[in-house]
Amino acid sequence: MKKLTSVFWISLAITLFSVVWGAVAPKNLETITGNIQAYISVHFGWYYLLIVSFFVVFCLYMIVSPYGKMKLGKPDDTPDYSYPTWFAMLFSAGMGIGLVFFGAAAPLQQYMTNPPIGEPGSEQALADAMPITFFHYGIHAWGIYAIVALVLAYFKFRRGAPGLVSATLEPIFGDKMKGPWGKLVDVIAVFATIVGVATTLGFGAAQINGGVTYLTGIGQSFGIQLLIIIIVTILFMISAYTGLSKGIKYLSNANMGLATLLFLIMIIIGPTMYILNMLVDSLGTYIQNLPRESLRVAPNNEEQRQWINDWTVFFWAWWIAWSPFVGIFIARVSKGRSIREFLSGVLLVPSIVSFLWFSTFGSSAIQKENEGADLASLVPEQMLFGLFDQFPFSLLLSIIAMMLIATFFITSADSATFVLGMQTTNGSLNPPKVVKFAWGIAQSATAAVLLYTGGLQALQNALISAAFPFSFIMLLMVYSLFKALRADKLELDRMQNKTK
């Protein structure tokens, strides 16, 4: 217990205060988080769009620049994991539950219930549905993750700094990051992680409940969702006990196996040609409209402006809130790769998999909707199961999907306990099990309270509120990295000139 820091106790106290507040006065918590979320969305939506676009441009610049050759580690370091395992681990941690939850729901909602432009069910809405989904899950999302992961991995493995967000800012602020200001930075990162992961766990519990409800008709309730959270908490605690190299590695590979199985079955029994045509057409539209969508604020159209707040700003906040967790985890498993190799893999591979996934499940849902299935009338957490009901082997598909959600749930929570433990024990790569267990219980309790206070809307409110302060830290991290890279490259060039 000597490794515990004040960051652990302060972060845990804030988390417990929030949990108790939500349990005692749920309406009050929902109202306050809703007001904060509304204020940030209305007054800082432009800011979210601008900084996320900047992160993507910075990542692309790093890939093509001379800095791309530099390693995340010492010159003779080699990667700890093979490419398949590396991709499986970063993808499972970074996007799992979201893909399953929104795989059919997001494109269908953009088409039938809440399109960005045009009337619901119109040709314009149909044309926009898949490209806008690609936009929300494509390189912008992974650019956010990549920034945090790149900065942490560089300072940890090349400069030997502690694996803390505060340690990455020392080139700017020096020893101030070892005092109260550094602790404040780490507490913000920890709290953003807890809310981000808790939001996703809430989505996972709601969807498992939705699947059980659709299959059995027993109904959706907070009690059932709480039971799901408790069961999954026990399972990911067992996984966390086995450690990173065993539990998360095996679960990540299991996730990819189940996801691949579900994907292949769906693309075979689904409208294969329609899926492929939608994939190619939507990819072209996505690439063509990328600059415009990246900075579209719609200041002269209140309806479109509200849609951007509800969707794009929400997704950017979600990815930012998740970025300390996913970034630290990806950094931890990426030692020994070059910056160019790292960024190319993190930006492109998960984005392509996301495009394939949404094209398969989203296109199938859209076609069945057009054939009269009325999937759009279902709540989002039941849309995937409603889609399966339109095809043979629907029960098998639903069972595989719920197993996949559960394993993604366990992997995300397991990874988060490791990251939170690392951040609250001065960057330890092997945090004590008691610390990981404490954070596992805390994040599950937070997910339960957020569901109790107002379901998915409360989750979204809390997410946007928690992401906002960490976004400023991310900007400082980019500047700090660039400053460190320039200094290290000058030193490297000087040493090379000496040896000539």
Give the residues of the chain that fall short of pLDDT 50.
1-2, 244
CA dihedral sign, ordered 127, 344, 320, 424? positive
Alpha-carbon torsion (45, 202, 88, 383), positive or negative = negative
Amino acid code (one letter) for 473: I
pTM value > 0.85: yes
Tokens of 192: 């953003």
DSSP annotation of 179: S
Cα–Cα distance between 8 and 385 in angstroms, integer?
40
Q: Which residues contact 46 (CB under 8 A, 6 or more apart)?
A: 297
Q: What is the pLDDT of residue 225?
A: 84
What's the pLDDT score for residue 48?
93
| Fold held by 6-488 | Amino acid/polyamine transporter I (1.20.1740)
Q: Give just the sign of the alpha carbon dihedral 376, 380, 386, 391.
A: positive
First-residue to last-residue Cα distance in the chain? 51
pLDDT in tens, 50-62: 999 999 999 999 9
Q: Nearest Cα to 87, choosing from 257, 320, 283, 262?
A: 257
On the CB side of 197, how many CA atoms lie within 13 Å of its CA? Answer: 38
Which one, of 442, 327, 429, 331, lies nearest residue 3 by Cα?
A: 429
Q: How far apart are CA 245 and CA 241, in angstroms?
A: 11
Q: Which residues contact 343 (CB under 8 A, 6 or more apart)?
A: 59, 62, 63, 68, 146, 150
Q: What pLDDT score was predicted for residue 22? A: 76
Residue spans of the domains in the chain: they are: 6-488
- Rg of the chain's alpha carbons, rounded to an integer? 22
Residue 400 tokens read as: 């595989």
pLDDT (tens digit per residue) in 71-84: 888 878 888 888 88
Q: Quick one: DSSP state of residue 297?
A: -
* Contact between 176 and 182 (Cβ < 8 Å): yes
List 71's β-bridge partners, or say none: 338
DSSP lists the bridge partners of residue 338 as 71
Per-residue pLDDT, 422: 83
Report the alpha-carbon distance of residue 99 to residue 265 in Å, rounded.
Answer: 17
